Structure 1
Amino acid sequence: MKKYQYRLGDLIERVIDNRGKTPPYQNEGIPIIEVASIAKNNRHPDYKKVNKYVNTETYKSWFRSGHPQNGDVLVSTVGQIGKVSIMDETVACIAQNIVALRVKKELLVPDFLYYYLIRDSVQDFLQAMNIGSAQPSIKVPHLLDLTVDIPTIETQKKIVGILKSLDDKIELNLKMNETLEEMAMTLYKHWFVENEDLERVSIEEFGSIIGGGTPKTTVAEYWDGNIPWISVKDLNSAVIIETEKKITEAGLNNSSTKLLPPFSTVLSARGTIGNISIIGKEMTMNQSCYAIKAKDELDCFVFLTLKSSINTLISQSHGSVFNTITKDTLKSLELPFNKDFAIKFEKKVKPMFLQILSNTLENKELQDIRDYLLPRLLSGEIDLSKAEKQVEKVL
């Protein structure tokens, strides 16, 4: 595959960099994309993580460099540097720690730049650009000086087509999961929240509260094993099947962490509080989380009950350094419950969560295929026609 070498800045038509004064925020309006909205394995910004907005007048007058458009590539330059996303059609602003790159489309396909920048070797290079002392940061001129090797436009489009087909399926599964979770929560509210005749009980009537722990980080043999170990950041979807860190059997046996059964509900209770997930397989967790093991196999009921009570839990959290949800706070919740009613409800919603789990497992397989193909397609190591056939079989 023939490639051509460019300076990144020579492939860019416009840089949108709105560093300067902080705009006046409000609770609704036009979203401001911050680094938290740029998540790994999400091609586009995650607007569910947006918590700052501006009004139309601020949108029109405050930002000096304009706003990102569909196809602009977003790169974080301060804090968690090098995170990459590509804009969709949403009208939005970007925070001061992000720049948007608008490519010269006669030379570069926008999605190709996105895939180029998320490649591990390029990510390592971006991290090496860090010039920050108090916090990591990249200078925009240094970013634009990056040397980029690209094939012809026609080859770029073929590569993008292969990778994007995988990402499109991943996004479709994610949207399906969101819809299934919303359907289940709607049913829960109808059956339980809106049913004023139900008795109010402690969570211990239908679930056991379990604490977590951390193996000693100074003992190497406790880490990098095969047992998933949950920290707060891992609780990022309704059902999770993997964690950033893993521990060994020795780590499990020599710490206060416990092996949790599949379909336990895990809640973040310290620092970033209120994240909640069901685990799709056996896992352990740290002491910043609580797990609730359901009685009578009321797994989904437990998850939805806690999910619907998150705002109450957050409002009752306290702490001098970190906000904390205590075990006593969990026990003090008064929750709607009727055992026979809950068993009938579980039978209705369990298939929804099993489908969420199936979609999540499929997404992991698709992500692994994409991550395998991405560097090899960009380097020309894999024949495009063979890669297309391989992806067609998977999809």
Structure 2
Amino acid sequence: MKYKLKEIGEIISGGTPSTKRSDFYATKGIGWITPKDLSNYHKKYICHGARDISKIGLDNSSAKIMPPNSILVSSRAPIGYVAMAEESLATNQGFKSIIPDVSKVLPDYLYYLMLNSKSKLEQVASGSTFKEVSGKTMANFEVDIPEIQKQKYIISLLNPIVKKIELNNQINDNLLELLKSEFNHSVIDNNKKIPINKIFSVQSGFAFKSNDWSITGKNVVKIKDIENNTVSLNNLSKVNNVIQLKKAKKYYVTGGEIVIALTGATLGKIGILPYNFEGYINQRVGLIYPKMSYTSVLGVLLQKEIRNKLISLGHGSAQPNLSPKAVNEMIVNIDIEACRKYDVAFSSLFKKVIYNLNENQVLTKLKMQLLDMYF
């Protein structure tokens, strides 16, 4: 049955307390979410962002407290980020959130519906400087809501997938933290100095031309695809020019490799390719060739000090660029023999990380298919 959002819930706008008043903000106060907090945020629920606000800050702004299970939907900069409130919280003015009427729509169902409504919301947005979905537009946004039993069935399909994805992410976060801390403890040695190319070397990917891109063809990894220490397989660019692909064979990958961003604002971010991936690496994405195995490569690149040093080597006025030569010649404080031992001892953990990434890619694809099927 067709409803306007205002008919199945209350639309809530947010607000920002004055930043001139430090007492309007708190270290452990009321959760206050901005669209930026949902950038690269992949969990269903959220309770706190980068900053909390105080009770006095709430009372002296247009921010409003929303109950748990409210649906947060960013309405500008950018449009269409979605999360559920894990506990009572507030947002800034970049949201038009929904407190659902549970007699008509279950919160989980509304969450998935709005998650799959990004493109529709973008179409109804207006504004000359930047696009925004107004409160009136959100209130009149039309959605299709089935009977409660059908909602429960759809939720029963999607919730286990989302929970498993989040569990795998948590396991990987823990494993990566273990790999990082153990490498720091047993391999980093300030009395040792070696060029990083004793452990791995980097080469920039293939320079595909603008007319090489097509709707179908072989997958190509660009910088935009590197996120959260992995490579997203959603919305990959494609090339079907056989001649160009033959030239790019050196940059053909089959999964399990590590790549690094060599340019732009996200310079130095890394991504592990899931095992189920086959494709090519685009220019300015550095393909890493290990001298031992990718376990040691990951151990090196998880070190904050080493990553910061890599980033500092970037140059360029418009945007920073990191040359493979600069990376390969960079000196690091690493005990090479200890690194070899680490490589052997922790290879099984790296394989587990890859396995979880692979499973998540499969689950994410299934989740997207179900969202397209039912919403």
Bin for the TM-score computed over the shorter chain: 0.7 to 0.9
State the SS of the aligned residue for 2:272. strand
Question: Quick one: distance in 1 between partners of 2:251 and 2:26?
Answer: 40
1:360 maps to: 357
- Distance in 2 (CA, whole Å) between partners of 1:284 and 1:63 is 50
Choose from 260, 267, 275 the match for 2:260. Answer: 267
Seq. identity, %: 21
Give the deviation of 1:21 after TM superposition: 6.5
- Out of 200-209 and 251-260, give the one that drifted further: 251-260
* 3-state SS in 1 of match to 2:133: coil
Taking the aligned partners of 2:207 and 2:231, their CA distance within structure 1 comes to 19
Which of residues 174, 187, 191 is equivalent to 1:192?
Answer: 187
In the TM superposition, what is the alpha-carbon distance from 1:318 to its structure 2 partner?
3.7
Match of residue 283, structure 2, among 283, 287, 291: 287
The count of corresponding residues between Structure 1 and Structure 2 is: 364
Which residue does 1:230 correspond to in 2?
Answer: 221
Cα separation, 1, equivalents of 2:311 and 2:221: 20
* Partner in structure 1 of residue 171 of structure 2: 176
**SS state of the match for residue 84, structure 1?**
strand
Structure 2 CA distance, aligned partners of 1:58 and 1:257? 60
**Structure 1 CA distance, aligned partners of 2:41 and 2:184?**
32
Q: State the distance in 2 between where 1:278 and 1:151 align.
A: 40
Aligned to 1:246: 238
Supply the distance in 1 between the matched residues of 2:122 and 2:317 (Cα, whole angstroms): 34
Once residues 92 and 73 of structure 2 are traced to their aligned partners in structure 1, the CA distance between those partners, rounded to angstroms, is: 11
Distance, in Å, in 2 between the alignment partners of 1:132 and 1:42 is 30
8 Å CA contact 2:17–2:60 kept in 1: the answer is no
Gaps of 5+ in 1: 379-395
Could you tell me how far 1:23 is from its partner in structure 2? Answer: 7.3
Q: Could you say if the C-alpha distance between residues 255 and 155 of structure 1 is closer, same or farther in structure 2, counting changes exceeding 3 Å? A: closer
TM-score of the two chains, using structure 1 as the length reference: 0.80
Match of 2:101 in 1: 104
Paired residues for 1:337-376 under 5 Å:
337-376=334-373
DSSP-derived class of the 1:355 partner: helix
Deviations 1:125-146 (A, max 9, x none): 2222132333332222112102
RMSD: 3.2
Asked if structure 2 preserves the Cα contact closer than 8 Å seen for 1:230 and 1:286, the reply is: yes
Residues 233, 361 of structure 2: 8 Å contact kept: no
Q: Please tell me the residue identity of whatever aligns with 1:53.
A: R
- Partners of 1:28 and 1:319 in 2: how far apart? 37
Structure 1 residue 253, shift from structure 2 partner: 3.7
Q: Contact 1:177–1:356 at 8 Å: present in 2 too?
A: yes
* In 2: Cα distance, 1:19 partner to 1:266 partner: 39
Change (3 A) 1:98 1:325: farther
SS, match of residue 333 in structure 2 = strand
CA shift in 2, pair 1:110/1:321, >3 Å: same
1:333 and 1:110 map into 2 onto residues whose CA distance is 51
What is the TM-score with the length of structure 2 in the denominator? 0.83
Contact 1:236–1:277 at 8 Å: present in 2 too? yes
* 8 Å Cα contact 1:166/1:370 also seen in 2: yes
1:86 aligns to what?
84
CA distance in structure 1 between the partners assigned to 2:356 and 2:43 by the alignment = 15
Amino acid of the structure 2 residue aligned with 1:152 = E
Q: Give, in angstroms, the shift of residue 273 of structure 1.
A: 1.7
Instruction: State the SS of the aligned residue for 2:99.
Output: strand
CA apart distance, 1:57: 6.0
TM-superposed CA distance for 1:8, in Å, is 0.8
Structure 2 unaligned regions, length at least 5: none
8 Å CA contact 2:47, 2:85 repeated in 1: no
> Displacement of 1:339 after TM fit?
3.7
Report the counterpart of residue 146 of structure 2 in structure 1.
151
Does 2:307 match 1:310? yes
Matched residue type, 2:237: K
Shift of 1:113: 0.7
The C-alpha deviation readout for 1:323-380, integer Å capped at 9, x for no partner, is 33333542453213344322221122221121122122222222233333334445xx
Which of 15-24 and 68-77 deviates more?
15-24
Q: Does 1:130 align with 2:125?
A: yes
Residue pair 1:76, 1:84 contacting (<8 A) in 2 also:
yes
- Verify the 8 A CA contact 2:229 2:270 in the aligned structure 1: yes
Equivalent residues of 2:63, 2:93 under 8 A apart: no
CA contact (8 A) 1:78 1:98 kept: yes
- In structure 1, the residue matched to 2:198 is 205
Q: Is the 8 A contact 1:74 1:99 kept in 2?
A: yes
> What corresponds to 1:386 in structure 2?
none
